[in-house]
Amino acid sequence: MFPLLELGPLNLATGGLTLLVAAYWWSRRFERRAAHPAAADAAIAALVAAALGGRLAFGLTQWSLYGADPALFLALRLAELWWPAAYGAALAAIALVARWRGVAPAVLLDAAALALPWPQALASLGLLLSGDAPGQPTGLPWAVPMLGAARHPLGIYLALSAAALAVGLARLARRQPPPGRLAAAATLGQGLLLLLWEPLNAASLTTVAGVRVVQLAGLGFIIGALLALRPATRPAAGS
């Protein structure tokens, strides 16, 4: 585990490199799907917001360490990001750039959501390579030897789920739903993914009574997505 690429004096974690490749891949897919000049700005803003938001949330959840040394918030540690916060911050950044550039936010958000799952699947495999998000020990035949035990290959589960989300969103996109529906459906999928798989994460962050924080965020995504998917109220007859 933890394969490293040795480039001269640099030891680069392949998990981190996979994350960088996935981020670049997403931005290219997003810009191509949005087909709008504002998409390039939105992609950059989303990546910066994801990095800052993800790191800020990670630091707040690890306050005993980050509070003692706030410089850690800016340290080059690709794995120390909190995915729910990174996702939420990226969506907010895209919406803000869209408003700033006079584009309907839903148009860019839909393109961004549609572009995400395949790069997300790649990044999930990177988690497996880097040893982040190790699965719980299991006796199942497809367990992988990792950290001294046979464990659930959580990175593979997440990658397969992201691939399923990609297929589902592509099918939904072919039906040309109203603007914003794709982004809401994608957020619903992200929430389900967090809610369902987090119990298999051996390094899960917990709060009161052992409740997993990532699952609470996942439920928040689901509720937010359902609120966005609320059926439009039809005008009363005769009005």
Partner 1 sequence: MQRERGAALTPDQRWAWLLVAAVCGGLGWIVATREQPMAPPAAATIVAPPLVDVAAQTLDGAAVRLGDQRGQVILLNLWATWCPPCRAEMPLIQAAYGQYRDAGFTVLAVSQGEEAATVAAYVREAGLTFPVWLDAAGAAGRAYQVRALPASIFIGRDGTVRAVYRGPLSRSVIDGTVVPLLAEPGGS
- 145 to 164: interface string for partner 1, x by CB under 8 A: -xxxx-x-------------
Q: How many residues bind partner 1 (CB under 8 A)?
A: 53
Query: What residues have CB less than 8 Å from 173, skipping those under 6 apart?
Result: 110, 114, 182
CB 93 within 8 A of CB 49: yes
Q: Of these, 1, 60, 104, 167, which contacts partner 1 (CB under 8 A)? A: 1
Only segment of 30-38, 85-93, 115-123, 130-138 that touches partner 1 (CB under 8 A): 130-138
d(CA 49, CA 51): 5
d(CA 234, CA 169): 26
Residue ranges in 185-204 that form contacts with partner 1 under rule CB under 8 A: 195-196, 198-199, 202-204
List the one residue out of 101, 125, 122 whose CA is nearest residue 28: 122
Closest approach, Cβ 119 to partner 1, in A, equals: 20
Closest approach, Cβ 173 to partner 1, in A, equals: 22
Residue ranges in 15-34 that form contacts with partner 1 under rule CB under 8 A: 15
Q: Of these, 104, 140, 167, 211, which contacts partner 1 (CB under 8 A)? A: 211
Q: How far is CA 134 from CA 23, 174, 197, 201, 203, in A?
A: 22, 36, 12, 6, 7
Residue ranges in 56-85 that form contacts with partner 1 under rule CB under 8 A: 62, 64-66, 68-69, 71-72, 75, 77, 79-80
Residue 6 binds partner 1, judged by CB under 8 A? no
CB 92 within 8 A of CB 86: no
CB 105 within 8 A of CB 98: yes
Q: How far is CA 213 from CA 16, 54, 94, in A?
A: 23, 14, 25
CB 92 within 8 A of CB 33: no
Residue 4 binds partner 1, judged by CB under 8 A? yes
Closest approach, Cβ 64 to partner 1, in A, equals: 4
Which residue do the tokens 């640099």 mark?
A: 10
- Please report, as ranges, the residues that interact with partner 1 according to CB under 8 A: 1-2, 4, 11, 13, 15, 62, 64-66, 68-69, 71-72, 75, 77, 79-80, 130-132, 134, 136-137, 146-149, 151, 195-196, 198-199, 202-204, 206, 209-212, 215-216, 218-219, 222-223, 226-227, 229-231, 233
